[in-house]
Amino acid sequence: MIKMTDVFKVYDKGIKALKGVTFTLNDGEFAFLVGPSGSGKSTIIKLLNGEIAPTDGAVMVNGYNMNKIKMRKMPYLRRTLGVVFQDLRLINEKTVYENVAFAMRVIGATNKEIRARVPYILKLVGLEHKTGMTPPELSGGEKQRVAIARALVNDPQLIIADEPTSDLDPARKLEIFMLLQEINKLGTTVFVVTHEKTIVDRLSERVIAIDGGRIISDGMDGYYNYEVE
């Protein structure tokens, strides 16, 4: 669950990224976060995964108070999240299997658990035949799916996807969003940052729009009500 209450974020150089952002995403929900470049989307993602702290206001993520969380507790918060980064952040030297297994290894899973879980997740995202390949050998869509598999493998309470389809063709984009919807139907909360107006409109999910550091609309009508420049 995400709960942001009147959150402000001012960066060191005085840039005001967020100006009183308030919204709640309950367990099991699916929501898009949309808005133009520089509107504060990335700042929200960084606040949610603990990369930065809010200047003012309250941020709660999966029961962790991000205003008071200690550095030694941060890994445990992050284990409740599955983050799909905009730049994917895959390890090029590791195979598809190792990239996914690596996320389980980090939380102390045994080899037996890894051997049982990783093939299942790779099958779920349709990569069961690419396990031995490395990211440079994969297409853009396949890389996205590896990143999603890695985010899913520890069965997180919340998936955060930051522009997960930025470099894909329209068919692959829809495929990835539908995959995220399927994951949501299995009970995982999904929060997706995107610019994809057409797909957002088509999927009929909750849409939170942000501009200039403020939430300008939050609707369940499934439409991208904000005009991206």
Partner 1 sequence: MKLSRNRTGYYIKEGVVSIFTHGLMSFASVCIIVAFLIIMGSFALIALNINAVVGELENENIILVYIDEHLTENEARAIGTRLLATPNVTSARFITREEALTAFIGRYENTERFKDVDATWLRHRYNVFVEDIELISQTRDDLADIYGVAKATANLRIAQGLVTLRNIVSGASVIIVAVLLVISLFIMSNTIKLAAFERREEIAIMKMVGATNSFIRWPFIYEGFILGVFGSSAAFAALWALYGLVADRAIDVESGLISLISFSTVSVPLFVVFTVIGFGVGVGGCGMALNRYLKV
Closest distance between partner 1 and the C-beta of residue 43, in Å? Answer: 16
Cβ nearer to partner 1, comparing 11 with 76: 76
Strands 56-61 and 206-211: unpaired
- Site map for partner 1, 44-63, x if CB under 8 A? -----x-x------------
- Choose the binding region for partner 1 from 6-14, 73-81, 161-169, 216-224 (rule: CB under 8 A): 73-81
Taking CB under 8 A as the rule, does residue 223 contact partner 1? no
Among 79, 197, 202, 206, binds partner 1 (CB under 8 A): 79
Cβ proximity to partner 1: between 31 and 160 the closer is: 160
Site residues for partner 1, 171-210, by CB under 8 A, read none
105 binds partner 1 (CB under 8 A): yes
Beta bridge partners of 25: 2
The most distant pair of C-alpha atoms in the chain lies apart, rounded to whole Å, by 50
**Does residue 78 belong to the site contacting partner 1 (CB under 8 A)?**
yes
Neighbours of 92 (CB within 10 A): 9
What DSSP string describes 11-22? -TTS-EEEEEEE
Of 68 and 72, the one with the shorter C-beta distance to partner 1 is 72
CB 161 within 8 A of CB 148: yes
Nearest C-alpha neighbor of 155 from the set 127, 124, 194: 124
Sign of CA dihedral 74, 80, 85, 89: positive
How many other C-beta atoms are found inside a 10 Å radius of the C-beta of residue 214? 15
Q: In terms of CB distance, is 54 or 156 closer to partner 1?
A: 156
**How do 2-10 and 64-65 pair as beta strands?**
unpaired
Using CB under 8 A, list all residues that contact partner 1. 49, 51, 72, 75-79, 81, 83, 85, 89-91, 93, 102-103, 105-108, 110-111, 150, 154
